[in-house]
Structure formats: structure tokens, C-alpha cells
């Protein structure tokens, strides 16, 4: 009996030792598994970090590209807007020029009528009451016509006594003048007109050539006579 009990005790101790061994044996793989899990998680974190860096770099590159495209489109918009503004201004200016050309052509056709009114006013001298009444009605029509021209921006030139300007005047005659220097206007032969600051019709004028040859010859003869008289007086005093 005693031997049997001792054997049983030995068997129990052996079982306990076996369990301890097995527990030790099973504890080792768990540590390795934990280490493997940690290494795998670290690798995953590294991969995630790398992917995040790549994504950030790609986003930065894409953002830079979009900024360049935005800047290009902005410059194109500014250039197109400036071109359109210039085109609009040019169209408006061309329309204004065309309008002025059409108005100028129409008004220039009326100016000879005004010239005839002015010539008739200078030549006619009504004496009878009937002629004077007709003359007054005639003058009323002339004033009405002049008022219409003023409303359209037409203004007459004042040229007598002014220096000749080929941009404003057209010289028809040239003659000597004792009163005006050379290239000054002596007489207006046909009135010129402005339209909105531009020449509607050039003025036909007579231009001075300065003092004439006859006057200059008389002055030279007078000078020579005075010199001769002075020389005679000097000789007489010497004698």
C-alpha cells in the first residue's frame, strides 16, 4: 500500500512537472506572437506614413499645378478683358467719327446756301417799304438757318488779321500790304467753318506779301537823297 501511494505521489509530481513544462513551452510562442504583432503593426504604421507622405506630396504637386493654371487663366482673362475694352472704345470712336463725317457732309452741302444769303445781304439795299418788308423776311430766314447751324455745333472762323495756317486756310491771292506783315491774312474771300473743333470748310483768303517793291524803292531813293544832301552839306562846310 505504501509503495502504491508513493508511486501515485511520484506520478502526480511527474504530471505537475509535465504541466509546468508544457506551460513554459506554451508561454514562449505567445511572446513571439506579440513580437510578431508589434513588428507587423510597426510595418503597417510605416507603410501608412509613407503612403501619407506620398499623398501629401502628390497633393502639393497638384495644388501647385492648379495654381499655375489659375494664374494662366487669370492672365488670359485680364488680356481678353483689356482687348474687349479697347475694341469697345475703338467701336465707339469709329461710330463717333462716322457720325461726324455724315453730319459734316450734310452741313457742308448747306454752307453754299449760307454764302448766297450773305452775298445777297451785302448787295441788296431795299428802299421801298415793300422791299424792306421782303428784306426783313429774308433776314429772318437767314438768322433761322444760322441758328440751326449753331445748334449742330457749327461755328464760323475769324481769319482777318490772323497768321496764315494751311490747316485752316486756303490762300487764293497774295499781294503786298503796308499794314500787315508777310503771311498774314488781308481779306476773307469765303468764310470757313468749324464743327466740334474740326475744320468743316477751309477759309478762302487773301494773304499779305509784306511791303511792296514800290514802297521799298521809294524808301531807298529817299535814303540816297538824304545821303547826298548830307554829303553836300559836309563839302560846303569844308570849303
Query: What CATH number does the domain containing 211 carry?
Result: 2.30.22.10
Domain assignment present for 205: yes
Residue 168: domain span? 155-226
Residue 7 banded pLDDT, cuts 50, 70, 90: low
Against a cut of 0.75, is the pTM above it?
no
**pLDDT single digits (tens) 203-219:** 999 999 988 654 444 44
Domain assignment present for 108: no
* Cα distance between residue 133 and residue 53, in whole Å: 105
Question: What is the rounded average pLDDT of the residues 25-46?
Answer: 61
Spatial CB neighbours of 154, under 8 Å, sequence gap ≥ 6: 107, 193, 194, 195, 200
**C-beta separation of 208 from 186 below 8 A:** yes
Domain assignment present for 122: no
Spatial CB neighbours of 134, under 8 Å, sequence gap ≥ 6: 126
Q: According to the model, what pLDDT value does residue 133 have?
A: 81
Look over the chain and give the mean of its residue pLDDT values, rounded to a whole number: 76
How many domains does one find in the chain?
1
Domain assignment present for 19: no
* Cα distance between residue 5 and residue 155, in whole Å: 149
Give percent of the chain with pLDDT exceeding 70. 70
Domain assignment present for 6: no
Q: According to the model, what pLDDT value does residue 190 have?
A: 92
Q: According to the model, what pLDDT value does residue 203 have?
A: 93
Domain assignment present for 215: yes
For the chain, count helices (H), then strands (E): 3, 6
**Higher pLDDT pick, 125 / 59:** 59
Q: According to the model, what pLDDT value does residue 157 have?
A: 92
**pLDDT single digits (tens) 46-105:** 777 777 788 888 888 888 888 889 999 999 999 999 999 999 999 998 988 888 888 888
Amino acid at each position: 500500500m505504501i509503495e502504491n501511494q508513493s508511486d501515485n505521489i511520484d506520478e502526480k509530481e511527474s504530471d505537475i512537472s509535465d504541466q509546468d513544462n508544457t506551460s513554459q513551452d506554451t508561454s514562449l510562442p505567445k511572446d513571439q506572437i506579440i513580437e510578431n504583432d508589434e513588428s507587423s503593426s510597426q510595418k503597417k504604421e510605416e507603410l501608412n506614413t509613407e503612403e501619407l507622405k506620398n499623398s501629401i506630396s502628390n497633393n502639393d504637386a497638384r495644388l501647385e499645378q492648379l495654381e499655375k493654371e489659375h494664374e494662366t487663366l487669370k492672365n488670359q482673362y485680364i488680356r481678353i478683358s483689356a482687348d474687349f475694352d479697347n475694341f469697345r472704345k475703338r467701336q465707339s470712336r469709329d461710330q463717333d467719327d462716322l457720325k461726324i463725317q455724315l453730319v459734316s457732309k450734310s452741313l457742308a452741302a448747306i454752307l453754299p446756301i449760307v454764302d448766297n444769303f450773305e452775298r445777297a445781304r451785302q448787295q441788296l439795299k431795299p428802299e421801298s417799304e415793300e422791299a424792306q418788308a421782303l428784306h426783313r423776311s429774308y433776314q429772318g430766314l437767314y438768322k433761322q438757318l444760322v441758328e440751326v447751324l449753331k445748334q449742330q455745333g457749327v461755328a464760323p472762323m475769324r481769319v482777318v488779321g490772323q497768321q496764315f495756317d494751311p490747316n485752316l486756310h486756303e490762300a487764293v491771292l497774295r499781294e503786298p500790304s503796308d499794314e500787315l506783315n508777310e503771311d498774314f491774312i488781308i481779306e476773307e474771300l469765303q468764310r470757313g467753318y468749324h464743327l466740334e473743333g474740326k475744320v468743316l470748310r477751309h477759309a478762302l483768303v487773301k494773304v499779305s506779301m509784306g511791303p511792296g517793291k514800290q514802297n521799298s524803292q521809294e524808301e531807298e531813293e529817299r535814303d540816297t537823297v538824304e545821303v547826298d544832301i548830307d554829303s553836300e552839306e559836309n563839302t560846303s562846310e569844308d570849303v
